[in-house]
Amino acid sequence: MPKTDEELKRKILIMMTFRMVIIITLLGSALLIQLVSKTILPINPLYFLIFLTSFFTLLYAYGFNRIRNLQLLAYLQISGDVLVTTLLVYFTGGVRSPFSSLYILVVITGSILLYRRGSLYIASISSIAYGVLVDLLYYQLIPYYDLQLADIKEITLRLIYYDIFIHIFGFYTVAILSSYLSERLRRTHTELRAMDQDLSGLRLLHQKIIDSMSAGLIITDMDGEINFVNEPGLAILGLDDNQILGRKIYKLFTEEIDLHETRKRMRNSKLVPIERSIIKDGDPLLIGMNFSYLHSQRGIPTEIIVIFQDITEVRKREQQYRLHERMAGIGTMAAGIAHEIRNPLAAIHGSVQLLKDELSLTDDQRKLMEIVLTESVRLDHTIKNFLTYAKPKNLGRHIEDLKSLVEDMLNFIQKSPDFKPEHHIVFEKSSDDFKHEIDANQMKQVIWNLSVNALHAMPDGGTLKVTMEHDLHANLILSFKDEGEGIDQLRLSSIFDPFQQSTTGGSGLGMAIVYRIIQDHHGSISVESKPGSGTTISVHLPARTPQPLLQ
């Protein structure tokens, strides 16, 4: 059903409801006046009008859902109202009736239901009905119902003409004014409906824009209480509406935000960047936020807008880039230093060996010289390892089966002194073809270093889980997960730096060498660790190794 028909149907239903209320109230008032007044009013006509009005209302109700032409139903109702009003005027004195003003109410009803056309129609038939009634009574073509009420001795033809003119003028004046107001009301309603549709469209567009953002959006009041979060924001935080709406934004993260200080900074800057961590599915996420004010039309801050993103991976890539740059610089600088140390070290070792062979030494002196020789050999070995890390090599890349290579290395490690009876190694791999272009010797070094480090992290025993798989882009992921004590954040940030403190008593170059080898293979390496939960180190190798650039 069109909206105009729905509106007309609603108006008709309201008019049907109030018609009985108004008529019965007015007639009840007349009865009350009769009871308290000395003037005797006729009773039977009042009951007749109540019955007639009720009968018409029942007919309207019967045809309400049966007559499809609602305008016809509206015309029938207001025409019936004119008839009832005319009878009421007749029974209460004709020209002298105080109820002739009810025609005005019927005219207004017509303008409400049918606007200008309806109001002019009601004004016309009301004028005709009232004029005919008065003329018939004056010329005594019909008798007065009650001569006492009519007081016909004072009624003249001039009074009749004047009365008819006043009523007709009033009917049409009210019809024009009420129809004008009804038309204005209809236009206003139409405009409001159009504006509401436009507003609904804008609201829907606004919601789609907000939900299509890749970033999260939070709106809070000036005290930081969250009252809106978009869908991407809920996905980033891993929460739903019930978990976040009504909470204070400064208590949302693992480290509280000083909202007072933030608002002070927002006075001097349009955007205030803040980074905080949040726990999602048991893992920490780094959230980067920009705080700004939402101003009213007067320029007064009314709300706080927070646009945020998950920058965990961005920070990891930045950290890897800084690590790569730092290690490249360290390697270049330290390679020269290592050469300068190695040359005099060889002279010292040879000289001490010569003195040991040619001189007659006491047992203590011989023991001291053996310590010097042993430590010089160890130092030379350390320098060789460092040069392996610091000095890039031309990789001898060939297509190798990494699955077989890992299996061979793990079998070899299980026979080494680093593997204890309390240790277990589990190798999980898919049925994929793991043939990649690599330097086999270098990758053996990677597997050895990572496996031995994992075993050393479990001095009391545990399981080393090695997994090999491909991602959606056919890149290789080789992971080493131990059950050790884990690594704290301070050590984790510098785990690939050379000469870091080693739990095994080694040189501290193992992880640095692994990092350099993986970088030379154009791959990447990541570490996930929590104190008390073990460590997982993942090596990522591309599906096809890019060819090195010509120098």
Strands 423-429 and 462-470: parallel
With bands split at pLDDT 50, 70 and 90, how would you rate the model's confidence at 422?
very high
Residue 433 φ/ψ region, left for φ over 0, alpha for ψ in the -120 to 50 degree band, beta for the rest: beta
- Per-residue model confidence as pLDDT tens digits over 12-55: 777 777 777 776 676 676 667 667 765 555 556 766 777 777 67
* CA angle (148, 151, 152) in 5-degree steps: 125
> What pLDDT, on a 0 to 100 scale, did the predictor assign at position 59?
76
Q: How confident is the model at residue 181 (pLDDT cuts 50, 70, 90)?
A: confident
Whether pLDDT at 122 is above 70: yes
pLDDT higher for 28 or 548? 28
H-state helical runs in 44-96: 44-64, 70-91
Share of the chain above pLDDT 90, in %: 12
In a 3-state reduction of DSSP, which class is residue 473?
coil
The reported pLDDT for the residue numbered 417 is: 86
Choose between 320 and 540: higher pLDDT: 540
- Alpha-carbon separation of residue 290 from 240, 275, 475, 498, 508 (angstroms): 21, 9, 35, 37, 41
For residue range 207-246, what is the model confidence (pLDDT) as tens digits?
777 777 888 899 999 988 999 998 888 888 888 888 889 8
Residue with tokens 């040189």: 507
Task: Tell whether domain 213-310 is in CATH 3.40.50.150.
Answer: no
For the segment 500-528, the average pLDDT, to the nearest whole number, is: 76
Residue pLDDT, tens place only, 249-278: 888 888 888 888 888 888 887 788 899 988
For domain 398-541, say whether CATH 3.40.50.2300 is its number: no
Instruction: Report the DSSP beta bridge partners of residue 275.
Output: 288
Exposure string of 22-39, with b = 16+ CB inside 10 Å and e = fewer, is ebeeebeebeeeeeeeee
Mean pLDDT of the chain, nearest integer: 80
Q: Average pLDDT of 472-481? A: 89
Question: CA distances (Å), 144 to each of 70, 83, 223, 235, in order?
Answer: 37, 17, 78, 84
pLDDT for the residue 407: 92
pLDDT tens by residue, 48-91: 777 777 677 777 777 776 777 777 777 888 888 888 888 888 88
For 445-455, what is each residue's pLDDT tens digit?
Answer: 899 999 999 99
Q: What is the pLDDT of residue 295?
A: 85
Of 247, 216, 221, 245, whose CA–CA distance to 231 is shortest? 216
Which residues fall within 8 angstroms of residue 389, CB to CB, at 6 or more apart? 331, 498, 509, 512, 513, 516
In this predicted structure, which of 175-184, 369-378, 470-479, 494-503 has the lowest mean pLDDT? 494-503
Is it the case that residue 504 has pLDDT exceeding 60? Answer: no
pLDDT at position 150, please? 52
Give the mean model confidence (pLDDT) for residues 391-416.
Answer: 83
Q: Determine the Cα–Cα distance for residues 267 and 171; give it in Å rounded to an integer.
A: 65
